[in-house]
Amino acid sequence: MTRQAGTPAGTDGTSGATGDATPLAASIRAIERAAGSLATASVARMDEVLPWFRELPADQRAWVMLVAQAGVRSLVEWLRRRESDGGGPQEVSDEVFDAAPRALARSINLQQTVQLIRITIEVAEQQVPHLAAEGEELAIQEAILRFSREIAFAAARVYARAAETRGSWDARLQALLVDALLRGDSSDVLASRAAALGWGDAPPVAVAVGRSPGGEVAMVLHTVYRVARRIGVEILGGVHGDRLVVVLGGAADPLDATHKLLVGFGDGPVVVGPAVPSLDEATESARAALAGFRAAPAWPAAPRPVAAADLLPERALAGDAEARRILRQDVYGALLRAGGELLDTLDAFFAAGGVLESAARTLYVHPNTVRYRLRRIGEVTGFTPLTTRDAFALRIALTVGRLDPSATPPTSVNST
């Protein structure tokens, strides 16, 4: 039989091969021989139409060339398996991407990978009239389209595994960083681990502590991260036992930002430590938040979230040394420095059950004088005696200060 014009050598234009019972065998051999030129043409097209591809380093462009060549070889193997199995569905092995290091998956995202696959398939389709045996063009084109779907699924699997691995590693690294933060490790340790996670250390920095909702740690952190991205806050997180610890960066109002993150916490109190300038100083915020979280059950009506500073009396009663120091030096000590009249007025006011007139009679002064001195107490300490919650804090401060008078500053000679 005479070979028809345009039909590759060794084919007869009807069965697709001479002495070969496998359909499309001649076309498959032609594609195999053209693997190198197809890969080169594909990379040239990528360079022509994809600006981001032109900016890749030379080594990464070479990796893409290797993947393209491996992709053509995989197409040939896929076609052979498919024809030998009678055209049944065939899955593409992920090994096609093994030609390049896994680091390439971090340089080229999934969307860009899809663009590369699309261009490679387009180039292969354009070459079908030159590669397919006569009468097999449509079958080869259809097979290439099916192969492109399978190769896209394979790419998705590779990226999914890379994301899972990266997510697990990030979760462990964040847990280590948060643990180092709670232990008060050196700033160098915190900085190196934070840098590995891409932490920008945007000021101010604060730490929030609440109960974990339970379940997979990666999913818990994913929920918090999703909300953080939406509100434009930088965070690091870790689950320690039943507690979720979140480090916030770049939130002008950490308490308000934490309120928006509550969906990621479990039931119960959520306590926010004081804002500090950087991660190096965040240990102070973390310790205050943890102490507040432990003491929060003593204030059932506490807002959610609540600032650790608002839990000073409960923290002091629970044995938090820092809370006792603040109440002793910054509250009781401030009253001592301001003069004895403020302390006497506060004692009389409490003894009178918060009744101004009764306190005034005890002190032999006008009620307006008592009002003035109570306002001064609020200015000096930050706690207003006329507010129930602040009055409680002032009572604890007086108790703590008088139990350890040697630790308070000496009384000023000035009076109010």
Q: Are strands 243-249 and 306-307 parallel, antiparallel or unpaired?
A: unpaired
**Domain residue ranges in the chain:** 25-161, 184-307, 321-407
CATH of domain 184-307: 3.30.70.2730
H or E element in which residue 40 lies: helix 35-49
Decide: 300 and 316 in contact? Cβ < 8 Å: no
Residue by residue, what is the 3-state secondary structure of 257-292?
A: HHHHCHHHCCCCCCEECCCECCHHHHHHHHHHHHHH
H or E element in which residue 240 lies: strand 234-240
CATH architecture of 321-407: Orthogonal Bundle (1.10)
Tell me, what amino acid is at 187?
S
pLDDT at residue 185 in the model:
61
pTM of the model: 0.61
> CA–CA distance from 224 to each of 112, 160, 228 (Å)?
27, 20, 6
- Which residues of the chain are modeled with pLDDT < 70? 1-23, 83-107, 110, 156, 158-176, 182, 184-198, 405-416
Q: And the tokens for 279?
A: 């991660």
Rounded to 5 degrees, what angle do the CA atoms 265, 314, 389 make? 100
pLDDT at residue 56 in the model:
84
Rounded CA-CA distance 338/41 in Å is 84
First to last CA, the chain: 120
pLDDT at residue 65 in the model:
80
Rounded CA-CA distance 273/292 in Å is 8
H or E element in which residue 234 lies: strand 234-240
pLDDT at residue 196 in the model:
60
